[in-house]
Amino acid sequence: MGETTAQIAEANPGNDYLALEVHTPGVGSLLKLIEEKHLGNVRIIQHDAVEVLHDMLADNMLDGAHIFFPDPWHKTRHNKRRLIQPPFAALLARKLRPGGYLHAATDWRDYAAQMLAVLSAEPLLENTAAGYAPRPAYRPLTKFEQRGLRLGHEVWDLVFRRKKDL
């Protein structure tokens, strides 16, 4: 619902953020937060993130990308619908500037393992940690995540960087 994006943008007024979301209530909620917090550094595109990356963004232009709790698609037969697949990792890596970061987080163990395998196999990326990363301080805990952690659920962060040279 934009809570995390708004908090990160508020804490980093010198950075510009582009939020990609298809779900109208999520877009509306972030617009409300932008107005309440007087944020001048967030733009929203309500469209499929894969198409936006493919058709609207130039290569080497992003300082970083946040993919927090993408839909886990729990059923094995639905795994192909997961966002983080090899072609998407290659596309997103190209959009990062050399040295730019890709930070993903999930509370679904099986998806975390898929993310680690897919991102580790992408030649343009390198892991900043040995496996999963500690949660970077800039990623706030959402209410949803706090509730999950209280119930004993785990969360996995992954922080990769686009290599400077190949």
Residue closer to ligand SAM, measured from CB, 98 or 136: 136
Residue 9: burial class (beta carbons within 10 Å; 0-12, 13-18, 19+): buried
Within 95-124, the residues that bind ligand SAM by CB under 6 A are none
Does 71 participate in catalysis according to the annotation? yes
Closest-CA residue to 135 (of 111, 120, 156): 156
CB of 133 to ligand SAM, least distance (A): 17
What is the b/e burial string over 134-166, where b = at least 16 CB atoms within 10 angstroms of the residue's CB?
Answer: ebeeebeeeeebeebeeeeeebbbbbbbbeeee
Asked whether position 26 contacts ligand SAM by CB under 6 A, the answer is yes
* Residue entry with tokens 């962060």: 157
Q: Which is catalytic among the residues 71, 107, 157, 165?
A: 71
The one among 8, 49, 84, 116 contacting ligand SAM by CB under 6 A? 49
d(CA 4, CA 146): 13
CB of 26 to ligand SAM, least distance (A): 5
d(CA 116, CA 46): 28
The one among 16, 43, 48, 123 contacting ligand SAM by CB under 6 A? 48
CB of 49 to ligand SAM, least distance (A): 3
d(CA 34, CA 158): 27
The one among 29, 41, 53, 70 contacting ligand SAM by CB under 6 A? 70
Asked whether position 149 contacts ligand SAM by CB under 6 A, the answer is no
Residue closer to ligand SAM, measured from CB, 21 or 122: 21
Closest-CA residue to 127 (of 91, 151, 156, 155): 156
The one among 8, 21, 106, 157 contacting ligand SAM by CB under 6 A? 21
Catalytic annotation, residues: 71
- State the residues that interact with ligand SAM by CB under 6 A: 4, 20-23, 26, 48-50, 68-71, 83, 142
